[in-house]
Chain A
Amino acid sequence: MSGPRNRPVPSDAAGASSPAARAGAPDLAPPAGGLVVAARGIHRVYEVGEEKVHALRGVDLDIRRGEYLAIIGPSGSGKSTLMHIIGCLDSPTEGTVAIDGVQVADMDETRLARIRNERIGFVFQAFNLLARESILENVALPLQYAGVNRRERIERAQAELESVGLGDRLGHRPSQLSGGQRQRAAIARALVTRPAILLADEPTGALDTKTGDAVLALFEEIHGRGTTIIVVTHDPDVAARCRRTVRIRDGLVEEVA
């Protein structure tokens, strides 16, 4: 792994209550300014045949630790593209990104996979749970890729599912759960590795208003425990519940007061 592992011990309750998650992380000072995302001059150009689609045209974005941020914009404006780059699923055509103080621009797939595993938790509109596995196995999966032994994986996955209110559904397949329960399982899976950032792309998009509200309430609770959350949405009601909002327009971001 290149770069310093600037993973501060958070002062919040969540970090303190699960020392195992931080075991092995050196006790270093937070990065300058406490920036968990530092994106500079991000361009992303898709080449479709002869045509070039400029999805992002020089995005600068700083996100501080513990922020609860909404990225809004109409459909096709580049929200998902930006989220994929922040989440290290995609690399910018141009520009640099530092996640949790680590430059990821020149990393190969293997190192990016490690960053995703250790520092980022994804929540998708379509839940993206593995249909064949129980939700317990689903939640334990990121810990498998982190090299945690099976007993500890199961223990931690179970604790995480209990904390999102699914302690009595451990052996259920995703198909045996409601949409709201599935999204809560997906959130548990995103959080089980104690990531620096929770990235959610239209997390309420597939849910009715009531269950969507329940998911947003859960986000607030998670944010309250100190986790940085970035929600991508086209829904102003969702954005209204976040502490800070940026809008994407013409491939650039602007702050919304």
Chain B
Amino acid sequence: MILEHMRSATRSLWGNKLRTFLSMIGIVIGVGSVVAITALGESARASITSQIAQAGLETVTVNVGRRPGAAVERLFTEELVDKFTEFEGIKAAAAVNRSNAQLKAGEESASEQITSATPAYLDIFSLEMREGRFVTEADMLERSAVVVLGSELADTLFPDGGAVGSSVRVLGSSPKQLRVVGVLETRSDTFGFSFDSGAFVPRTSYLVRIAKPDRPDSFVLWADPDARDVVETAAELQAWFDAETGSENAVRVQSPSTIAETMSGVTDTLSGFLAGIAAISLVVGGIGIMNIMLVSVTERTREIGIRKALGATPAAIRVQFLVEAIYITLAGGLAGLALGMGISKVASGFLGWDFILSPSSMAVAVAFSAATGIFFGLYPAARAARLDPVVALSYE
């Protein structure tokens, strides 16, 4: 029976191609935007998740906040590192300073950041070596004039290879010569900081050769998720700093999870807003369908009369028109699915996200369009079913 209705719906919609197409457009746009939004939302989330995974789920950073004040100047000392390691749920800590520098090796040069590093730094960011070694305890004790290069920087300064064992000059008022002892494995950006283009110098050596900062810029901590939830550790640290500094804005403790929460909060708000717009366009599309179905019922009043004379029950007439409405919206929904996938593919390409074709967004498209068809087709179908056979038969 449904098959029969589909056959008759095809014939009636095909007989009115332009009208069918026009009445479908609203649904196409509505479903298209729903699909694009859900797909982009998932791409955004996946992109954030992968950045977090890159950053290491076990890394907590302690930065100077928006209004540091005197308390921070007093608190932010090298001794804080020992305090951190005593803290429950923290395995290692390192004070960090960075400064911009002009690096030169032979004819090649690059302007990049030099970061102070301790042996713990490697574990904190789960860095891996492509060649050579990282900063060691011996380097720390001897304040060795050595440097570890990010992969990209190594390739820039030593395009022919052979970085390890070679020398790099740090230009400035008193140029320094550093021996390259290692090159890091390539690693994609994590929240704006690139390990690949960095240069890492033992902290003790950094403080005598590269810069003489008043205090550490920040601290990086290696949290132990087995001992304690990382978010909880970060929250407790934040509370400790807030108490010590007497201000909520002096020090900022961040874990990848807190960053992720902030970012997904933003994308959730955005996709909620866009989903609202999409829902409105679906409703508008649905009203278009309802309108076209009402026109169709009126036009085909006589046909309905004939069908009733031949024995069509009200239920049969209702199903016939409902199938037709669902047919239009489903066809529109599939077209919208294609459109939405196209949009999200192009947009993810622009934003540098992975394009994710999720079954859930496809299911959403099909479900939404069928539901729109049922909801907005119900009234016209009921009207057709209620027609008086004699009146319908004498309709001109």
Contact = CB atoms under 8 A, between A and B. Distances in A.
Contact of B393 (A89, A141, A142): A89
B56 interface: no
B316 interface: yes
Contact of A130 (B303, B308, B313, B390): B303
A124 B306 CA distance: 10
Interface stretch (A107-115, A164-172, A204-212, A226-234): A107-115
A110 B314 contact: yes
Contacts of A146: 311
Contacts of A90: 389-390
Nearest to B316: A145
A118 B314 contact: no
Given A130-B303, A130-B306, A132-B11, A116 B311 contact: yes
A147 B315 CA distance: 14
Interface residues of A, number: 27
Contacts of B311: 113-114, 116-118, 142, 145-146, 193
Contacts, number: 64
Contacts of A147: 1
Nearest to A131: B303
B interface: dominant SS: helix
Interface residues of B, number: 24
A114 B390 contact: no
B122 interface: no
Nearest to B394: A80
Contacts of A133: 8, 11
B130 to A, nearest CB: 70
Nearest to A116: B311
Interface string B297-322: 00000110111111111111000000
A32 B311 CA distance: 27
Contacts of A141: 307, 310
B390 A89 contact: yes
14 contacts: A89-B390, A89-B393, A109-B314, A113-B308, A113-B312, A113-B314, A114-B311, A116-B311, A122-B310, A124-B393, A128-B302, A130-B303, A130-B306, A133-B11
Given A90-B390, A144-B1, A150-B3, 17 more contacts: A84-B390, A110-B314, A116-B308, A116-B309, A116-B311, A118-B311, A122-B309, A128-B302, A128-B305, A128-B309, A129-B306, A132-B12, A132-B15, A141-B307, A147-B1, A189-B310, A193-B311
